Amino acid sequence: MTAIRAKDRDAVIQSLRAGVVPRIGQHLIQVGRALEIDSLLKDIDRIADGGSSFRLVIGEYGSGKTFFLNLIRAVALEKKLVTVNADLNPDRRLHATNGQARSLYAELMRNLATRTKPDGGALAGIVEKFVASTINEAKANGVSTETAIHQKLEHLSEMVNGYDFAAVIAAYWRGFEESNEQLKADAIRWLRGEFTTKTDAKAALGVRTIVEDASFYDQLKLMARFVRLAGYSGLLVNLDEVVNLYKLANTQARNSNYEQILRILNDSLQGTAEGLGFVLGGTPEFLLDTRRGLYSYSALQSRLAENTFAREGLVDLSGPVMRLSRLSQEDFLVLLDKLRHVYAFGEPSQYLLPNEALPAFMEHCYKRIGEVYFRTPRKTITAFIDLLAVLEQNPGADWMRLLDQVVVQPDQGDSLDLIEEAAALMPGSQTDEDGFANFKL
């Protein structure tokens, strides 16, 4: 049995104990959901083949959405895709007029990752790789490098900002040739969406456009084509906490964001976005609420409607909406066993709990909060890690006596009451534009 590196072990344990998803080592604790993973693997293959995909991953708070998204991200990196990921929040949206969409794009570019640089910050390396390969092709074909760059990027000019995108890449090459680090840095700043005025971009790079709120999605399509030209298979966009769009109190702002989702969905279904995939994580309320959720936008409701034949245990994982299956008790038992194994660095001789302690822990949790403990297991996992930590630091402690002291609470997440309360506190939003007041009895 292979020992687990301290780096991977600590990343998994510390993240889970804090109630967040580990960025590395997800394979060490993955259980169940084989059908869902297989379906997303097909999406990744489609992206690598020049196609497009769109998935809305729906699950309750604490059910493992973020873990699932990170797992798919890790698989995509292994398949030579470039990935970008970000959490939506009030300052990062798909559509806005005050810089929130550009802020989301900038965050995505900061987190841009490749297999060799999985923690983000890989944009400069991708541009460098493209320039280096183009220099070699230019020498082989007997043309200038700048000519070769414009030839390779020529088909991007038909897209929004495409011509300036090519000009920025050419500027990076000039900085590379002239050892001008400032020019290279300015080019990367433009590609990351960090220029805030066209005047600054014109002075630094000679281009007349910048990444703005209105061009957020078009810029992602450009980047998807560019990473393929740089030798990668495609671009996967991971967006979590999309429920923050549901929390927007302003109806017009919500609908504008939902319209952007509709645009992305239509492009993906029609195959017009080359080598680009989206995976969005949300809650059932975010999807199904006919007043504030995606179903409040009729065009999205018709496209995201469930297959009426997928009933009574039958599943259909080919549509845009993927509902995460709940973990079974058997899955959760396997998960506890894997957590115990990871905590012991992969050494069974160092297990802190005997085999009989695992079902005993599950029975204790069931008595406290019922079936919620394995269906939305975030808080339960944290309690289990806390128990292992105490046993590790107190070798003489009796696990059976400690078990009675374990406190487990259901994961409430952001309930609808809390969402309404937060919306009511936003400036100028005491009453939603659809005419409904936010109040609690």
Report yes or no on 283 lying in a domain: yes
DSSP per residue over 196-217, as a string?
--HHHHHHHHS-S----GGGHH
Query: How do strand 235-240 and strand 82-87 relate by DSSP bridges?
Result: parallel
User: Do 51 and 79 share a structural domain?
Assistant: yes
* Contact call for residues 254 and 104 (beta carbons, < 8 A): no
Q: Radius of gyration of the chain from Cα atoms?
A: 24
User: Do 238 and 272 share a structural domain?
Assistant: yes
User: Do 309 and 182 share a structural domain?
Assistant: no
Residue 84 belongs to what domain range? 34-122+215-323
* Contact call for residues 35 and 317 (beta carbons, < 8 A): yes
d(CA 318, CA 307) in angstroms, rounded, equals 10
User: Do 146 and 90 share a structural domain?
Assistant: no
User: Do 107 and 44 share a structural domain?
Assistant: yes
Q: What's the confidence (pLDDT) of residue 108?
A: 96
Max Cα-Cα span within the chain: 78
User: Do 106 and 130 share a structural domain?
Assistant: no
Report yes or no on 196 lying in a domain: no
User: Do 340 and 303 share a structural domain?
Assistant: no
Report yes or no on 22 lying in a domain: no
Report yes or no on 206 lying in a domain: no
For residue 58, the SS3 value is: strand
Q: Where are the beta strands (DSSP E) in 173-306?
A: 235-240, 276-282
* Contact call for residues 387 and 364 (beta carbons, < 8 A): no
Report yes or no on 384 lying in a domain: yes
DSSP per residue over 378-389, as a string?
HHHHHHHHHHHH
Cα 35 → chain centroid: 20
User: Do 268 and 369 share a structural domain?
Assistant: no
Looking at residue 347, its amino acid is: E
Report yes or no on 350 lying in a domain: yes
User: Do 228 and 117 share a structural domain?
Assistant: yes
Which is nearest to 363 in space by CA: 325, 326, 406?
406
In this predicted model, what pLDDT tens digit does every residue of 375-385 receive, in sequence order? 667 788 888 89
Chosen domain end from 293, 323, 353: 323
d(CA 369, CA 377) in angstroms, rounded, equals 11
Q: Where are the beta strands (DSSP E) in 1-109?
A: 52-58, 82-87
DSSP letter, residue 314: -
Phi, psi of 245 (to 5 degrees): -70, -35
Report yes or no on 202 lying in a domain: no
User: Do 220 and 118 share a structural domain?
Assistant: yes
User: Do 230 and 173 share a structural domain?
Assistant: no
Chosen domain end from 191, 225, 250: 191
Q: What's the confidence (pLDDT) of residue 313?
A: 63
Chosen domain end from 323, 353, 372: 323
d(CA 312, CA 309) in angstroms, rounded, equals 9
Question: Which tokens belong to 69?
Answer: 């998204």
Q: What's the confidence (pLDDT) of residue 145?
A: 82
Instruction: Report the predicted TM-score, pTM, of the whole model to 2 decimal places.
Output: 0.83
d(CA 143, CA 353) in angstroms, rounded, equals 68
Report yes or no on 99 lying in a domain: yes
Average confidence (pLDDT) per 10 residues, the chain, 441 residues: 83 86 82 85 93 90 81 92 94 92 95 93 94 90 85 84 89 91 95 93 92 93 94 95 91 94 92 91 91 92 79 72 82 90 91 91 83 74 90 88 78 50 44 46 47
Which is nearest to 36 in space by CA: 315, 232, 234?
315
Q: What's the confidence (pLDDT) of residue 300?
A: 92
DSSP per residue over 238-255, as a string?
EEE-THHHHT---HHHHH
* Contact call for residues 106 and 121 (beta carbons, < 8 A): no
Tally of domains in the chain:
3
